[in-house]
Every structure is written in C-alpha cells, then in structure tokens.
C-alpha cells in the first residue's frame, strides 16, 4: 500500500510540475475523481430506489451499469453509471 501511495504522489508531482492535467484521461488524480463520481451516483440510485413511487414497491430495481464520459473543467472522465429497470433514474450530480 505504501508503494502505491508513493507511486501516486510521484506521478501527481511529476504531472503538476510539467503542467499536465491531473484529472484528464491519463491524469494522476483521475481515478480519485472517477471513484468519487461513481460512489455519488450509487448513493443517488439508493435514494431513488427508496422512493415509494419510483422504487422497490413499484418493482423497480438496479439493472446493471452503463458508461458515460463526463466533461468537466478539469478534463474528461469515463465513469460507470447505475441503471434501473424503469429507466427513471436521473442523476443530479
């Protein structure tokens, strides 16, 4: 674990000093942004499925994942997005 942290710190520092985008396709911090976005979407899906009108009581359940490329002011990140059977999930993030 320490080796991975050291490698990440070195990559971040190298990219930062060279002026490279830290969050872009090969950015050192891109995996952290990806993880944050995916966990946020999972939490939104949990809340969506708890809704009595749209969720479990209406027969709606998780139905796999799709992928999307998110464009932000720090670069593009491809994330896995949760899907539901009724296709009624509209993420806010």
Helices and strands, counts by H and E, the chain = 2, 2
Q: How far apart are CA 84 and CA 41, in angstroms?
A: 12
**Would you say 49 and 5 are in contact if contact means Cβ atoms under 8 Å apart?**
no
For the segment 10-31, what is each residue's pLDDT rounded down to a tens digit? 998 999 999 888 887 788 888 8
Residue carrying the six token digits 């002026």: 19
Domain boundaries along the sequence of the chain? 1-84
CA triple 31-70-61, angle to 5 deg:
90
So what's the pLDDT on residue 54? Answer: 67
pTM to 2 decimals? 0.77
Q: How far apart are CA 93 and CA 44, in angstroms?
A: 8
So what's the pLDDT on residue 44? Answer: 94
């Amino acid at each position: 674990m320490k080796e991975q942290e050291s490698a990440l710190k070195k990559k971040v520092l190298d990219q930062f000093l060279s002026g490279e985008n830290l969050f872009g396709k090969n950015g050192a911090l891109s995996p952290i942004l990806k993880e944050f976005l995916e966990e946020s979407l999972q939490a939104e899906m949990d809340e969506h499925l708890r809704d009595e009108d749209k969720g479990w009581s209406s027969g709606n359940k998780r139905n796999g994942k799709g992928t999307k490329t998110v464009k932000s002011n720090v670069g593009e990140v491809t994330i896995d997005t949760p899907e539901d059977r009724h296709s009624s999930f509209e993420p806010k993030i």
